């Protein structure tokens, strides 16, 4: 009994630090993630460059580096939360898409027809292909926003909220692909 109590902190620590696990039994592959993600049967994942299509779609604001930053953030999140191997080319699970909105708009107008609040919105359209289970494949748009006071410039709002919006978008995409919500 004393021996179990002595090693219990190490066991608990190991369980807490376990983020993902894959068990391979011959051709059967079972995936587990603390995010509730299932990657059963998948071994590789690929994330194609998320193109910036803002100008073509709605004349919104173009941030030249945003596409690369978003693509890298999606890759990092998937690698941190699954045991899938990230590859170039096309993996068992493949993400591709484009940024379709990166814009601001007034949401609260005062009596003097001046915006009291503005909304910073980012939207992406993602095509996910699961080559092992095609029922899990999808094409969908994801949109998130943050409202901010009109006393803040749009440049300041971008600096303040872009990272938070991207995290929410990536969490939504990940959940749709691997948690199947």
Report the helix count and the strand count for the chain, using DSSP H and E: 4, 8
Higher-pLDDT residue of 112, 78: 78
Has residue 67 got a pLDDT over 90? yes
Of 159, 181, 164, 163, which Cα lies nearest the Cα of 172?
A: 181
So what's the pLDDT on residue 36? Answer: 64
110-138 average pLDDT score: 92
Has residue 63 got a pLDDT over 50? yes
Has residue 32 got a pLDDT over 70? no
Has residue 170 got a pLDDT over 50? yes
Q: Which domains does the chain have, with CATH numbers?
A: 43-179 (3.30.160.150)
CA atoms within 13 A on the CB side of 66: 23
Has residue 159 got a pLDDT over 50? yes
13-41 average pLDDT score: 50
So what's the pLDDT on residue 79? Answer: 96
Has residue 80 got a pLDDT over 90? yes
So what's the pLDDT on residue 176? Answer: 96
3-state SS, residue 50: coil
Q: What is the pTM of this model?
A: 0.77
54-82 average pLDDT score: 86
So what's the pLDDT on residue 165? Answer: 98
Has residue 171 got a pLDDT over 70? yes
66 Cβ contact list (under 8 Å, min separation 6)? 52, 99, 102, 162
Bin 54: left if φ > 0, else alpha if -120 < ψ < 50, else beta: alpha
59-71 average pLDDT score: 85
């Amino acid at each position: 009994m004393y021996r179990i109590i002595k090693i219990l902190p190490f066991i608990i620590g190991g369980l807490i630090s376990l983020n993902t696990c894959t068990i391979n039994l011959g051709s059967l592959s079972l995936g587990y993630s603390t995010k509730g993600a299932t990657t059963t049967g998948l071994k590789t994942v690929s994330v194609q460059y998320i193109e910036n299509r803002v100008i073509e779609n709605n004349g919104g604001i173009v941030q030249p580096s945003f596409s690369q930053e978003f693509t890298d953030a999606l890759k990092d999140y998937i690698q941190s939360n699954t045991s899938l191997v990230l590859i170039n080319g096309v993996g068992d699970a493949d993400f591709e898409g484009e940024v379709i909105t990166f814009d601001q708009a007034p949401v609260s107008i005062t009596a003097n027809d001046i915006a009291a609040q503005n909304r910073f919105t980012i939207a992406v359209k993602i095509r996910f292909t699961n080559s092992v289970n095609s029922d899990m494949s999808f094409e969908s748009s994801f949109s998130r926003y943050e409202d901010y006071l009109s006393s803040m410039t749009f440049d300041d709002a971008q600096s303040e909220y872009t990272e938070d919006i991207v995290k929410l978008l990536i969490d939504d995409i990940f959940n749709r692909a691997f948690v199947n919500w």
